[in-house]
Amino acid sequence: MNIETYKSYRGLPTLAGLATIAEAAKPGLSVEAVVARHKRYHYAFVRLHEIFTARITAEPVYELKTGFSHHAYLCAEHVQALRNRVAEMREPPLGLEDVPHEGLGVFFDEILAAPTTEALLVGLYEEALPALDRALERHLADTNPLVDAPSIRLIRFARMELSDMIDFGRQCIECLVADKTHHELSGWITMLRQSLAVAGELDGASPATAEMPTRQFSKKPFVYDRVPRRDERFQDLWNQGVNAESFIYNADLPAKPKVLMMLYKRLREIDVPEMMASIIVETKGKPWEYYRDMSRQLWDEARHAMMGEVGFVALGVDWTTARITHNWSYRLNTECTPIERHAVLYFIEQGLMTKTGKRYEWELGVESGIPLAATFQDYDWADEVLHAQLGRLWYIPQIGEWKEALAYGDKCWTRILSNWHAVRDQGLTKHENWWPLVYQQACAAWNNPPNAQALAFSETYEGQRADLKTVASSG
Ligand SMILES: [Fe+2]
Ligand SMILES: [Fe+2]
């Protein structure tokens, strides 16, 4: 019997479905070689996570802001999986923080520092992610399918998500990057490819060719921009003319308009990724689990905003009529340190765990008879319970005990005084009451006359903390 004539029992699939005997009889890569490649994939995912996160806040286009929030999280998960795998391979996960090759360092520095959204999209989705995918594809071809099965498994998961990310990026480039702009980037693209070639490609498995190219965009080190920006659909960014929490907690008002106001609050949560990105970028030296968990929460908050978007569209209401403000993220990002921002976030999210928090919002959704609202709030609540746990894990120990940590969050939040008069006096907003227009659109779609009291609502945030002390505005 030999490899050609060997037969499994009654022709059953061989090797637990991993491969044929012939495929598994090729030696493949050594443990050392696989660890070396994993360290490079790991580095690539770490840098991609860094780039996606660092570009969330100042990216104006909402679809990209939420897309980057998603992709940062996916990269964080793949970093974690690779760290776990390296630790299984006779090596403590040492050297994972090193730059595996200077060429790779330059490659990712350049994309991080891309001066325009167009260059960023091209660098990420046409160069970096495909280069990583090629490396993973080559791993599958080079390694032994039996002995390295645990690596193969995580690589297959990674490639599935890389393929989705690349698809998303291609569509964004088609929509946003004109041929002329793309052409103008060709010198830079060549330079990016050279920096990979110097490193023997992303995995280091090719012979190193080319000379180290000169840096272009990363000549000056990248500086994170913590000022949130929005696209032109977001108008009147300082408006505090409609007190959404007062409305939702007013016992005299009916559930349906309250659900509409709640969807507004969801969409307004786009300020949370803008703010959390600044904490992640500006907090160094934590275990990877910290970045993974924070990125998960950031992504959840982006999804909460998208729930608001979907809800508005499903109800036939133009959300751009509402004022999706950036007051909260702007002020936290420009007036607080990262730990103060985290403290405020924890303080707010802790408030959501009470009877009047997320449970109440879900009950409203059920009561309203709008099934979509009930579904959204059900998951929103579950996400927030997770966030409170993550706060206990990562925020509280930085301050001390739970009570102290909560008081510190309260104190930081109190320090941000209301700017209601200041922004009005500076002519930044008139605090216009946008609510009747939004509510009337929904009533028209429902074919219901408006409730007179709900329509006449005109409480503003004047003289109030945006969270009404116990009722959260964000998170
Ligand atoms: Fe949250
Ligand atoms: Fe949220």
Q: How confident is the model at residue 457 (pLDDT cuts 50, 70, 90)?
A: very high
Q: What is the pLDDT of residue 468?
A: 46
pLDDT tens string 117-128: 999 999 999 999
110 pLDDT more than 80: yes
Ligand 1 midpoint to CA 392 (Å): 13
Ligand nearest to the CA of 301: 2
pLDDT at 173: 98
Q: How far is the CA of 170 from the centre of ligand 1 (A)?
A: 30
How far, in Å, from the CA of 431 to the mean position of ligand 2? 24
Q: What angle do CA 25, 37, 212 make, to 5 degrees?
A: 135
470 pLDDT higher than 60: no
Q: Above 80 in pLDDT, residue 472? A: no
Distance 427 CA to ligand 1 centre (A): 32
What's 456's DSSP letter?
Answer: T
CA of 380 to the centre of ligand 2 (A): 6
DSSP result, 278-301: HHHHH--S--HHHHHHHHHHHHHH
Q: What six digits make up the tokens of 117?
A: 């959204």
Does residue 157 register a pLDDT over 80?
A: yes
Query: Which of 183-197, 257-271, 347-361, 432-446 shows the lowest mean pLDDT across its residues?
Result: 347-361
pLDDT of 406 reads 93
Q: How much of the chain exceeds pLDDT 90, in percent?
A: 91
Q: What is the pLDDT of residue 206?
A: 97
Query: Which ligand has the minimum distance to the alpha carbon of residue 379?
Result: 2
Dist CA 160 CA 438 (whole Å): 40
Lookup result for tokens 């959840």: 300
Residue-level pLDDT at 466? 53
Ligand nearest to the CA of 473: 2
- Tell me which residue has tokens 């890569």: 29
Q: Which residue has the higher pLDDT, 356 or 250?
A: 250
| 405 contacts 396 by C-beta, under 8 angstroms | yes
Q: What is the mean pLDDT of residues 291-311?
A: 98
Ligand 2 midpoint to CA 15 (Å): 46
Q: Are 210 and 194 in contact, with CB atoms under 8 Å apart?
A: yes
> Measured in angstroms, how far is the CA atom of residue 432 from the centroid of ligand 1?
28
Centre of ligand 2 from the C-alpha of residue 86, in Å:
34
CA of 279 to the centre of ligand 1 (A): 14
- Compute the distance from residue 312 Cα to the ligand 1 centre, in Å: 20
- pLDDT higher than 60, residue 474: no
- The per-residue pLDDT of the chain, averaged, comes to 95
Q: What is residue 415's predicted lDDT score, i.e. its pLDDT?
A: 85
- 3-class secondary-structure state, position 167: helix
Percent of the chain with pLDDT over 70: 98
Q: For residue range 173-186, what is the model confidence (pLDDT) as tens digits? A: 999 999 999 999 99
Name the residue among 212, 78, 102, 95 with its Cα closest to residue 153.
Answer: 78
Q: Residue 467 has what pLDDT? A: 52
Cα 475 to middle of ligand 1, angstroms: 4
**CA 382–ligand 1 middle distance (angstroms):** 10
CA–CA dist 73, 294 (Å, integer): 9
Read off the DSSP letter of residue 203.
T
Question: Which tens digits make up the pLDDT trace of 198-248?
Answer: 999 999 999 998 799 999 999 999 999 999 999 999 999 999 999 999 999
Stretch 152-169: mean pLDDT, rounded?
A: 98
CA angle 186, 64, 81 (to 5 degrees): 90
* 438 or 91: which leads in pLDDT: 438
Q: Give the pLDDT of residue 469.
A: 44
> Residue 461's pLDDT is what?
93
Whole-number pLDDT of residue 26: 95
Residue pLDDT, tens place only, 24-77: 999 999 999 999 999 999 999 999 999 999 999 999 999 999 999 999 999 999
pLDDT at 352: 82
Ordered structural domains, the chain, with CATH: 12-198 (1.20.1260), 244-455 (1.20.910)
The mean per-residue pLDDT over the stretch 126-147 comes to 98
The letter for the amino acid at 162 is L
Separation of 455 CA from ligand 2 center, angstroms?
27
